[in-house]
Structures are given as C-alpha cells and as structure tokens.
Structure 1
Amino acid sequence: MSPLLFSLLLSLLSLSPLPLSSASDRLPPGASLSLNQTLLSPNAVFSLGFLPSSSSSSSSSWFAAIFYTHIPSKTPVWVANRDSPLTDPDGTLTLTPDGALSVLDGQRRRLWSSHVSVPDAAAFLLNSGNLVLRRGGAAATWQSFDHPTDTLLPGMKLRLNKTSGEATKLTSNGFIFTLEPRFGLETLLLHGRDLRWRGPMWLGIPILSVQFGDVSSRYIQTVHVSPDEIYYNYTMEDSALLVRYLLGIDGTYSFLVWDGSSKTWNATNVVPARPCDWYNRCGSGSSCDPSGGVPLCRCLDGFSPKDATGWKNGNFSSGCEPRRRLACDGSDGYKKIGGMKLPDGYSVAWDLDMGQCRQSCSLNCACRGFSHVNYSTFNMSGARCLTWGSELKDLVQVPLLSQDLYLRLAAAELADVPIGMAPASSPPGKSGRRVKILLAVGISAGLVLSGVCCYCLICRLGSRKGGDGERADLLPLEEMILASELAREKGSLPMVQFKCVRAATGNFSCLNLLGEGGFGPVYKGKLKNGEEVAVKRLSKASKQGSEEFANEVLLIAKLQHRNLVRLLCWCAHGKERILIYEFMPNKSLDSIIFDPRRSGELTWERRFAIIKGVADGIHYLHLHSRMRVIHRDLKTNNILLDKDMNPKISDFGLARIFDMNQTQANTKRVVGTYGYMAPEYALDGIFSEKSDVYSFGVIVLEIITGKRCTGYYPYKNSLNLLGYAWQLWEEGRGLELLDPAMDSRFSEIEVLKCMQVGLLCVQEFTTDRPTMTSIVSFLCGECGSLQAPKQPAFAIGRDSNPSSSPFSIAVDSLPPQSSHQTEEEKSC
C-alpha cells in the first residue's frame, strides 16, 4: 500500500468513528454507539444506549441514556443530551479520538459533550451504573456520577465543595435537589430560587443504618467531612436490590424500590407530601405538627400569633412573635425544646463546647437561640454550635433523629425552665433572689407531688389485692394470644411486660420502624411463634397522652368487627405507653391511594370493597357495638389494609361513647384532622354520628379520585376536592373524577352511586346527611335511591358568593399556592 493511500485511509477513519462490534462494557477510543447498540455493565444490571423520547414506536427523537437492562419500561437513571434530543436516526454516541464523549447527529454536529479530552481514554460502564472515562488503570478523568440528571443511585455522592460553593444538583422540570450551599448540613428542594422543602439537619452521625418500612434490606447512609468538602452517599445492605432516589417532574423527591413480583417501583418516602413538608408552613416563631393534629401550627413557648384573627381562622403564614423583649442584661435564659427539626437561617461556629456556645448567643442581643452537637458522641472530632437571629423559620416536630434547640426567652417567661438552663448568667440582686424563690417553690411542690404519688400508689396496690383475689401478673408477650380471648370476656385486654416488648422489637430498633403518626412511632414486632405485630409507642413529643391511651385500651377491648383493627394488648411502664395491634402488611390506605406509583394496584373492584368495608365498620360503631361510638378522627391514614386489602378502622384515641338516647355532644377541645372535620365540629365543637358520616364522605371521594381532599382545584372557584366533585356532579361529568391510574374496568353505576353517597355525606347541615344505616343499605343495593346532594361545606371559594357559606372564610384563608404546582402538590 502506498504511503499516500495509507494516509488517506487514516483520515477517513478519524472522520468516521468505528462502530461497536458487540455488546460489552467498554467503548474504545474512536468507537461509537448507534441507535440499536448498547454497552452492558459487567453485572448486566445497567445498559448504555439510546432511548426514544416517548413510549410510541414511531418516536422521532432519542436520548443517550443509562437505563436498567431488565426493567421493561427502560427506566433511565442518567441522560446525556437531555436538553438536545437527537432527531437524526444516523446519530451516534461517540468517543472521539481526543478522548471526549459526545452525542453527534448524522452530519457530525455535536449535540452534547463531556467537555473533557483525554487522548487514548476509553469509556467504561460500571456495575454501579456509573459511566467513566479513563486511560488504562488510571483514575477516572470524567464520570456520569459527577453530572447527575434527576436520579441518585447507590454510591453516588451528593457533594458540596466548601471552597467554591459548587454542589451536586439533581434537576427536573425547573426543580432542583441539592445541598445547602454554605455548610452542606442539610438538603434543599427548590423550584428556581423558591425553597419548597428543607431536609432535617445532619446530626453528626457518620454512618446511619435504618430500615425503610417493609423494605427487605437496610439502608446505610455515609457522611464524609473534610476541610474542603462534605458529601453524602448511600448503599443498601443487599446490593442486588434495585433502588434509586428520583426528583420527579412534579417536584417530588422519592426513594423508590423495584418490586420484581409486581413489576413496579414502590415509593417508601415522598417529599413534599404532607402539610409540614412545605417550607416555613407556619411562619416564624411557630412549629408545624406533621401528625395531622389540630391546630396544624403552634407558637413556641413565650411566643404568640402576630395575626390572632388569621391564626384563629387557620391562616398561619404570619407566624408568631415573642411576647416579651429580651433584656440583654444577663437575666435572659433558655428553654430546651426537643423533638424538632432545627430552624432555617442559622450561623455556625466550630469546636465550641456547650458553655461557649451558650455564651456566644448570650453575648449577642440579636441571638434568639442555639443548638450544640459534640461530634465525639459519634466517634468524630470537633463540635458544632448553631445560633439563630430573630427569625426562627421552618420548625417541624420530628421526634426521631431530632436535635435540641435552646430557645432564648425573657426572664418572665422562664417559670418552667429546665434545671441548668435558667438565666444565661446569675446576676446579683433581684435575679438571684428570683432563682432562690423558684427553687424553694419547686422543692415544696416536689414534696407535695411525692406525697400524692405515694398515696395513689398505695391505693393502686390495695385495689390489686382486692376483688376476686386473682393475681395481676403481667403476661409475657408470647403468651398474649392465648390469654386474649379470656381477657376480652372480662372486658379488658392483657397488659404485657416492657422487657417483652423490647425483645419483640429489637429494643425499638430503627430497623423495625414502620412509620410515625400523631401517637408516636410504630414498630414491627415479632413473637416467638413467628407472628408479626405492630407496636405503637407514645412519643414524648406527641400531643396525645394518658387520656387518649386509656381511652383506646378501654374502648377497643369491647369492639369486635372484621373492619376494625384488633388491639392485642398494651403496656405501661414508667413513662412508656405502648399499644400492640395485629400487623397490617399493606399499611394505611393513604400510603397507596395517593402514591401515583401504587394507586394502580387498587382496581375499582377493590376500591368499592374498601368503601363498603369502611361503611360496615362505622355502621357497627354507631349501631351494633356494645355502646355507640363516635370515632372523631376518620381519615385515609387511619384505614389500615390487611394482606388481602380488606380495610380496618384504627386509632380510637379520640373516640367518644354516646348514650343510646344521646344525639350530639359539645367540646371545647376540638381535635381531628383538617379536611376530614365536619363544619359544626371544626367551628363550634359539636360532634355526633353525622360528624363521622361527613368524614366518611371525604374518604369515599378520595378513594374514587386518588386525590387528597384539601388540595387546590382551579375549577370554577373550587377550593378542594369536595367543590371540584360537586361541580362535575352538577354538570353530569362525575365519571371524570375517576383516578386515571386505575384500569378501564369499572361499573359506571357503582362509581356514580359512591360519588352520590360521598357528596350526600359532606353536605353542610347534619340533617341533610344520611345515616350509616341508609348508606350501607344503598351501597349493598338493598334500597332503591337516595336524595340528590346539595352543595358541600368547605368547598367553594369566597369569590363565588362570600355571604352564602359561613365556612368559606376559614378555608379561603389558607396561603395561596404557586401556580406551577399540581393538584397533588397543593394538598394541605
């Protein structure tokens, strides 16, 4: 071959990249991938190739992406040319001779590039799903893990460079998930520059191992800190489990687990989803209660609402302000507040001890509080001191993995300051005498209280010795099933030893944590015979106390129905209050019905069966149990589902017993959950059977639609699901309410029947609402028809007719949501 011909051949080869001959994990220099070719990771879990921009077989644009090989939907975890789709079928993913990875169209125009040129480098697709460029055995010069799109895989680092301030970002449809740019101590979810959600602050634990719900493998998070950077990553104990974090196009951040049997991605955690997830939901100086209690927001100790009228009507956006100004003369002190996500807007000082941290706040008159963490607790060096100015924003009650906030208050607010945290210094004179007086009063009160406690204890011991002479021994947990029937015959439930509860839950291990509600955390327990139970442990931060605990133990023991959850036993040990139930493997209804990835599991047949089952359970409470019971807190997350998706009503802590001739009752303590509370109860404290009927109607509409009741529905001034359903019903378009995630097999008659029942139940006046007896008969086809529904309460906005409903003001006072949110995101 002549030298001229050889040079010409080399030139042609440099212009036309070499096609990949067969599937492998390596793309050599000068090689390319066409539309029908892929790289395959050594473990065959991940592939690199082109995916069509739509599911249609006639798609005319493509993306170069890494995706799961054996998942039918070809789920992408990284996309190269996300902003510049390939529209030319002759395009390629090419590793140019100079070592740059590029997406080129048929005319050799560059649509995307790695912008890193390393001659003779090859591209490798690793088992982790990471695409790396490297030469020989050298370290990677570029990797896809450093340039994520919308997915965080195990092993990927969420990183902050402390010097440059550059941080890893996941992006999707204008939403950004990243680390806080100053210190990297927390994660943020933004839409543009607007902060939507703020994650809990890093406690200082370098390695955290937890169990997410019923996921079969432990989740292990690692945090690395150095003078130059901080980064977070995670792995699963079972490396074969397919998991990922996803920032969705709707702005939600989810942890997803692949279920091979159902061929679906199951979400175990989605934010923002609950009311307290939204940034600064309650304004400054106030904390948000994620358990769904009433009110949603509460002022901190020593604070009061800035707008008392708005606060009373449910508008918490103005927040709270201190009742008294700080004196800044040494008489100010601190109150310890536990069980909280620390507020936003902090400053950090490193390597201060507890005393120095407190002093740094006391010397600054603008400092409103501090928090201290000694890293040596977690076998790390150093300590962290956080201080806050006048704004204490985005406080949320989170009993697990929370940190203590020491709130600075004027001396007059410190009557109940914890010992050791009273005044920042001890000035002479009046302040010193005040401390002595408080100590004297405290000692006297303690002696009186001790006497009362001794008297009560003696009385209690005496009562145990009386009666029929039977022993009051505590039953071991493994024997409770055998003893439960006998106990129920006596109208009570067995009490178990605390040590047995600890053994069943692995000492309340995070590995067994199922979730958390208003009562407190719920753990999965296992008896010696292998039977699984659910263990509810009263949280110290919970608003529910001994009254609700005793109410549930004494009440539910007398209730037996297939649609009521079964309480097996209870435990009271010191300050511990524990309820032990039968285990519900499918958790609560809301965990499925509002999850777009799981709601498709509930066919119409199953939904209709759930509606009828819940109706049967309420009907039993109102009419057929030993006493008439008003539940007062019916909602989708209090409807549990067994292995066969049969519904069971739970959580009777707020329930009340009615006399057989009693029609209603009144309370000054309104408790329940916004959206499910009847208007007469929410505003006047009046509750009755018809209050439960109203809540049932809301649940029915949520089951039909798969949407939360208190979302914003921009349709003819409809403020929520009730108004939206009413408008469509009035226009004869009721079937449009059906959850689109459900398949097309349904009975139009059953759907419209349930919609009519739901709208009848949520009518404004109690006399218009049906009884549970007529509802059950109608759903079972035992009665021909019901009356036409009227406009629901809490449904139509003020713009329509502000004087027509006395309830529109309270609902309309909720803070407006930004226009980019979807209906699911805007739910309160």
Structure 2
Amino acid sequence: MGLGRGKISMALLLLTSFCVEIITAIDTITSTQFLKDPEAIVSNGSIYTLGFFSPVNSTDRYVGIWFNEVPVVTAIWVANRNKPLNDSSGILAVSKDGNLVVLNGQQEILWSSNVSNFVSNSSAQLSDTGNLVLRDNNNEEIIWESFQHPSDTFFSNMKLSANKRTGEKILITSWKGATDPSIGSFSAGLNRLDIPEIFIWKDNYPYFRSGPWNRLVFIGVPYMNSAAVDGLNLVDDGEGTIDLTFSYANQSFLSSFVLTSQGQLEQTRWEHGMEDRIVLWSVPKFDCEFYGRCGLFGSCNAQASPICSCLRGFEPNNPEEWNRGNWTSGCIRMKSLQCERVKSGSEAAGQNDVFLKLGNMKVPDLAQWSRLTEIECKDRCLTNCSCIAYAYNSGIGCMSWIGDLIDVQEFSTGGSDLYIRMAYSEIDGNHRRKVIVMVSAVIGTIASAMICALLTWRFTSKHRARKEGGEKLHSDTNEKHPSFLDRDMTGDSRDHVKLQELPLFSLESLTAATDGFDLSNKLGQGGFGPVYKGKLSDGKEIAVKRLSRASGQGLKEFMNEVEVISKLQHRNLVRLLGCCVEGEEKLLVYEYMPNKSLDAFLYDPLRKQLLDWKKRFNIIEGICRGLLYLHRDSRLRIIHRDLKASNVLLDPELKPKISDFGAARIFGGDEDQANTIRVVGTYGYISPEYAMEGRFSEKSDVYSFGVLLLEIVSGRRNTSFYGNEQALSLLGFAWKLWNEGNISALVDPAISDPSSQVEIFRCIHVGLLCVQEFPEDRPTASTVVSMLNSEISYLATPKQPPFAERKHHFNEERPHQNEEKCSINYVTVTVVDGR
C-alpha cells in the first residue's frame, strides 16, 4: 500500500512539473518547443495570439498575430505574407542557426527572421504588447522583433520610425487584397523629418500627405482632431531618429491603424463582444486629399466646383487639359516677380513684391524648417528672392518654400495661414484694376494735350533754325578711335564694360608666368585652345586659358564666360581672377587647382583609389550645391550646359569646383526654358530634349548631373560602353541592373563597402531619377540636394532613361571622329558641337 502511494505521488509530481513547463512556455517557442498547424500560443496576459490562420474565403495558411479577445481572427501581423502554406502541414520553429522559421511539410523554409549571425541558443516569445521577440538566451539580447517588420497594422506600443541620417524607415504595407496578405501597392509611415508628416505611398509615389505635426495633430487633416488621434505621439531621440508611437488611453477596447489594400489608412477599434471593428476615421477620404490633385501651384477645395483652381497670380499651364478636368499639368505664374527681374538685371527697382495671405490652407509639401519667430520668418522670406512662400505655426515654427508648391488644399476651417509671394500688380484684384483704368484715363487726357503742345513747339523751333542757319548735316566733332578693347571685342561697348569689371593682366606678365606658354606647363587642350599652369611674380599659381587664334568660334564663348563667372561667388564654383585682351590674344586667368579635374582621378586605375566613398559623396553633394547656386541662389540664373567630369576641378582637399562657363546661358526671371539652333556641350551628357530639339532648361543640367553621378559611383565613363555590353551606355547598363535587382554590380569595387551600401544605392537611385527621358520627370537641383541628404528619404521609382535599350544614333556618320577615348582636359574647356 505504501509503495502504491509512493508511485502515485511520483506520478503527480511528474504531472505537476509537466503542467508548470507548459504554463511557463505557453507564450514561447524554442528549438524543442515548436508550433504545428493548427496550434497557437497566447501572450502571458492573454491579449494576443500567435498561430496559423486562413483569411476569409481562402484556404491558404499563414502564421500571424491577432487580438485574442476578438471572436473573428483578424491578423495584425503576418509572417509568410508572400509564401502561403497550401495545406495544414506548416510548422513555426526555431532553427539550428537561431532563426525563427516557417516550414512546410517538406521542411522547406517559406519564411525566416533572417538574422545573419549564428545563435546557438535562442527562443521567441509573444509579449503582451503584441511584439514577437527573438532573443539570444546566452546574453538575453533581442536579435529580431516583429515590431521592426510590421505588416499592414500599426497598433499600441509599436513605433513607426524614420532615421534622417541613414534613410532607414519602419513602414506598414498594405495587403494585396482583402483575402491576400501578400505585400500590396501601398505603404505608410513618416516622412520629412524636420517637419514630420505621415505619408501614404502607392508604388513608391506619394499618394497622401497628412501635413506637418504641430505636437498635437497633423494639421493637413482638419477632422483629425485630438480626440480621434488620442495616444499618437512623436518622439525625437536627438540622434536622427523620429518615432511615431501609439498608446490608446481607453483600455476598455482595442484600437489600431490599418492600411487597407485600397490605400486608405483607417483608425479602427474593437469593443468587447463585437465581431467586426469600427472605423473611426480614414484618409484619404475626399478627392482633394490625394497627393498633388491639382498639380504645381494649384489649390484644391472639396466644396468648390470644379475642385481645382490656380493660386492667386497663377494660370493653368495647359488650359485645354484644365478645362477638361485634367489638372495634373498644374499652373504657372502670370507675371514675373520684381525681385527676379531686378536680380537678372533686366529691370530697375520698382514696386516690391508682396505676400498674399491665404487662410485655412494645407501647407505645400517640401517645406524648409527653421526655429525663427513669426516676424523673423516673414523677414527672411521677404529678403530672399528665392523664397516664394512661408507659413508659421506656433507648434511647428517657421516653414518656407523655395521651389514649386505642390499638394495645396483649402479648408473651410483649420489648416494654417499661407503667405505667397507675388507681383505687386496682382494684389487687390478688380478694385485695383478699376482705379488704374480711371487714373489712366485722366492721365491719358492730360498727356495727350502735353504731347500735342510739345510737338507744336518742336516743329516751330526746327522751322526757325532752318531759316537762321540751315540744317547742320555733319558733326565737326573729332571721331573717336577705337581702343584695343573696342577693336578686339567687335566694337560692342557692352563687352568693354564686361572686361572693366575684372582685373586686367598684361600679356607680358602672363607670358612670363607660363614660361612663354611652354609645353611643359600645358595642363590640357580644349575646344577653343590650350590651358597652361603659370606662376605670377608674387608666387601665386594660376591657370591660364588661351583662346586659340585659329578658332573662328569661341569669341562669343570667351565673352560669355567673362560675363557669367565674374558675377559668381560660391565655394563649389571655380574663381575667375582676371583676363587679358591684347591684339589677337584673348586669355582668362583662373585660380589653379593642383589636383586638376575629377576625370583625372576617377578614370585612373591608381588615383581612383584615393577617392573613397566619403570623398566621392562629398564631391557629388558639392557639385549639386554648385548647380543649385547657379539655378536658384546666385544673382543671375544660369544654365551651365556642359557639366561633365573634366569640367569639375578638385582643390587640395578634393572639394569640387564647377568650371568652364563658355557654354553657359543666363536666364531671365520669367524664363524656364529656351531654344537654340546651336547645340553646345558634350555628347553623353546632353539631355535628349537639348540634343534633338535644342530645348534646354535647369532640367538639362540635372540630366548631366545624373550622368556624372552614375560615373562617380561606378568609376566608369558614360562613353566606355560603346561597342560593348549590347552597345548600352552607362545609363542603359544602370537601368538593366536596376530592373534585375542587381544594382550592386554597378558600384566601383574601389568603394564597395557594406557600411556605405545604403547611401551608395540611394545615390544611384537619385542618379536614375535625374536622367529620366522627360524633363518634367526629373527633380530640380534643390530637390536633389534634399534627396542626397535624406531630407526627402522616400524616393519615387525612376522611369527608363533615353537610349537605354537601343544603339545610339546621334552623329553616327562620324563615329570615330566623335568618340571620346580619353580626356586631358583638366581645367576649362567647352565643346561647341555635340560629340
């Protein structure tokens, strides 16, 4: 009897031990404890469940997490989204290498946590926050968690993050369909980290934008009041990361944000006993909320008919399309701004531009943020001609815009005050025009009477003069003999003025500085003549560009370079020190760059090793900032038209300086593009619209920059592909690799470093955006700067560049003559015909 009681006691002890093990392991998966369909585990507080499920009207099986208290399984996280199980043989386990994996009946891995480091002892636990955590049990370190890889749902205790420095983001992505959890077309998360906003993207293009966060709500959605978004909060860690967190105050019901397969972000909640969730609000809700609905400089008003109108001072860019209800082409300014006319020198100062206040507005995208007060914000924008609009919000600070205005909306209530710069004549509308008409009529009457009187007086005076002494036919003043300046510069007094603005060097001093233009001092040979290194009597080193006497072309370019570069001052532009014009000699004197030009490094097998990725990125950014200065920030608005590696000089610290402005074109304040019958530049860098139609604009320079960026990343010339690799250019090769998902093959092995991979790939992405075939698809220089610095961290999908999949036909009649085998062009050279 005693022995029997002992056996029973032992059995009870073993059973108790077994039950304890199950209880302690009910929320955990280990290498020996795994889930087999249809098993599930529940978090310690019975809030969340992890297990196998099938969506409604589907037999496919997935591993997911759902709210334990909700009667109908509605997954808020899915593991094997793109690889469903087609039967109930699935297993969720911890593999030998420490990863969490989903296996089918054939032991094939359909999904893995994909941790690269081998872990000998790990386990996965479902916490009461809904986070599935994979932990290294040797050191209790978390090596993977589901919160870092969300599906379509953002729920309590999660974080949607964005890192300004690395460009990395945690986004939610939609299901492909209501019953298909595979990754769909839509994603949502944070963007614009200086002024955080929620974005929804469709196929990587902006689809919806919430407007900036003012510490309480996102001001671009008026009905998103504080009650509706109770629990949302933004946290800046001070090291470049912004987190959007969500913790609902009322714990009596479960709430979450879901990105649907149709692209709507819905706030939903379940209450106890309910089988379906309630949608509290969703975006985009109205037609006006779709990103950029009315195009550039257009404003959308859901209460108006039609919903789109141009901002005050603007008119439809394409009236026919606009009248048909196609507003994508947006609007253009009707009258150029006074500050642009003054800046370009086309008009003296007149009535200053003014700012028009627009109330209850959704502020445009791509704002620049600063910590200025409201008065300082206004003053800074007023004194900066590039600033076309500003807004101030006490919870945000100063916002200003220097480029196109996109995604503007007018509300009946809410929003923010937006101030837009416009010409003085555009203010006060009809009332002002009536006053002008009345005043003009009075002034016209008086002026007519005065003109009649003046003409009568002049006729009488001339008649009297003829009677007294006869008409004087010839002047007896001495004829002025033209100076060498007038004679050599075709007698144009404007050229004289241009040269007087620069220090003049004597031919004798430059001859001495270059040892009589000795061949040993020759730096390169350009389209208009050679460039020499020289040293002045005070020891200062210079580079002298000598216009060839035999060059019938180049006189215009010489004067153009004098006019353009003498007015430019920027750290990424080469500095013109002076010039010399004597007899038939025409010379330009530049600061000397000891490292010569970028191509001397980039395409040299040994010297390219000196350009690590950090130096190359600094060169890329410096070139783009130089372009931005030319296009937007200088006193003149300049299109370079010949940007290439040999026209980028490197200073002693390998900082870039754009050179050779012989082909540059100055734009007036109201010019966006121009046409020419004489295409200048270098084949391979010329944009298609310029090469084929003679049309050039800022976007032509952006195209050239994109080619140059891809050359810098790849270490290869754009022309190095001729006759090779299916006769593709560098652009075609990059496009081919992009579509194959093998973009890493484009990267120069000299800079191939895993720690820089994200930034390198981002630069390639930006380069492909810059070389898209149509100018309207390419970003502006200011946008490129923002993209390079991850201020615009989510990039659009590039479209195919020109000539990507076909042989080049440009100048095929002279292939050998025009092929650029190598470059010794180290300083300033302009090629005046496509090559």
TM surpasses 0.5: no
| TM superposition score category, shorter chain reference | 0.3 to 0.5
TM-score using structure 1 length: 0.43
TM-score using structure 2 length: 0.42
| Structure index of larger Rg | 2
